[in-house]
Amino acid sequence: MALRIVIVGAGEVGSNVAKNLSADGHDIVVVEEDEIRASRIENDLDVIVVRGNGARPSVLERAGLSKESDSTNLLIACTNKDEVNIMACWIAKKMGVPHVISRAVGLEFTDNEHWANDLGIDMLISPERSVAKEVEELLEVRGAIHATEIAGGRAGIYVFKAAPDSSACGLPLYKIREKNPSLITLIVCIQRGGKSFVPKANDTIEPGDICYTMCYRNQAHDLESIFQPSLSKKLRNVFIIGCGKIGFQTARRLLSRAPRIDVCLFDEDRAKCDRIAAELPTALVICGDGADADLLRSEGIERADGFVAATDQDEKNLMLAVLGKTLGASKGIAVVKRSNYLGMTNYIPVDAIVNRNQTLADVIIKNVRYPGSSKVLTVFEEISAETLEITVSPGSPAAGKSLAEMKMPAGSVIGMLERDRNVLIPTGTTVIAEGDKVAIFASTEVMPIAMQKFGESAQ
């Protein structure tokens, strides 16, 4: 069903959301105050553009919001100003818009759910926490080029590139299972030569294959030792350049999960350094230039297991991550805002690039596409695939059927199942029950068909 959606803000996040939701067939109106951004999105996309401040009732009225009309189904406010986003959502609710989503720049708004409830906002989201979580997972499992925590941290989705010395190379999948009987995992997709496919038991792993896997989090290092044996060791020392929100959140997560990790943060802003040092007393905070090779060497960069560049400049982060790798850091990660930098790992010596704006845009897009009992776990833009969590509702056509009886469509696989807080990798004989949380991996094209097997539908 096509929705009428008003998007406030045409920056990197807003334009990405507008592009994807317009392609889905929804009627999109974009509100943008900056003339350059407004003209660009007007020329590039098949959307209506309203020029003005999205926090003004008169501007939102020109965008089609009205107490007398219920034509607008959803408002998404994703500027880089909290006051604009929150006010736009508040006005939209007063004008009768049933659902509103707001980006939160200030982390305090997402510390708990009360702010969203008190403000009447259906979803209040900040990318920094999601990005920090992804960076932490990438550091914890250094052989992974993508990592996402699922099932409350008890399991994860890990993407590995099969190294030439990987013990999996040359073996069909069933043989890998036979040789590692204690390892409970499922390879849900393989990318090879620019193409991707859902593998069968007889398919063989080749050097250079990008393998998308699901496994228990406490077995991630066992899986890593198979695909990337030279990188499989415990995380002990991390350098973080930039004491902003992402740098702070990443350091805090690392120290809270593994207090014995040595975390060293660098920033040239004395006030930031003093604040972080007070909030994270077990971290080493250095007021200095993170691009100073001599400074990095003096702090032992050659012993660093991970190097995270998280300043507010994309290009600087990319170059810093290269510098960290050059000076001996085991894994270099750059945090960027622009999506066009994501493919740079193919051309420069950086292990992973994390796009915080893409993370936010994906959350918004997928929650519009998959409402109700569905929850997006992660999106893999590079292979046009995604992982969705579905809670099996009462009366679902899947309840009481085994996986073999489900006959999931080609290009999809049920990778993990959570029941009564127990997580398991299902087999063909596993019977689906009401209340189960099922993780489905599928191509973007196939996902709506896979959802129908559970009585769910996309927008």
Q: Across residues 49-57, what is the average pLDDT?
A: 95
Among the residue ranges 47-56, 123-132, 417-426, the one predicted with the least confidence is 123-132
Amino acid 427: pLDDT:
84
pLDDT at 38 exceeding the cut of 70: yes
Tokens of 232: 């499989």
Top-confidence residue, 393 or 116: 393
Which amino acid does the sequence have at 297?
Answer: R
Top-confidence residue, 171 or 120: 171
The closest of 97, 134, 82 to 5, measured between CA atoms, is 97
Please provide the DSSP assignment of 186-206 as one string: EEEEEEETTEEE---TT-BB-
H helix runs in 1-81, sequence order? 12-23, 35-44, 57-62
The pTM for the full model equals: 0.69
pLDDT at 458 exceeding the cut of 70: no
Residues 6+ apart with CB under 8 A from 25: 2
Confidence of residue 29 (pLDDT cuts 50, 70, 90): very high
Amino acid 371: pLDDT:
62
pLDDT per position as a tens digit, 214-258: 988 888 889 999 999 887 677 899 999 999 989 999 999 899 877
Percent pLDDT > 90 in the chain is: 51
pLDDT at 345 exceeding the cut of 90: no
The closest of 240, 329, 307, 334 to 280, measured between CA atoms, is 240
pLDDT per position as a tens digit, 62-86: 999 988 777 899 999 999 898 999 9
Q: What is the mean pLDDT of the chain?
A: 88
pLDDT at 110 exceeding the cut of 60: no
pLDDT at 121 exceeding the cut of 90: no
Tokens of 198: 């859902």
The closest of 125, 77, 124 to 97, measured between CA atoms, is 77
Among the residue ranges 103-117, 321-335, 386-400, the one predicted with the least confidence is 103-117
Helix (H) or strand (E) segment spanning residue 155: strand 155-161
Percent pLDDT > 70 in the chain is: 94
Residues 6+ apart with CB under 8 A from 347: none
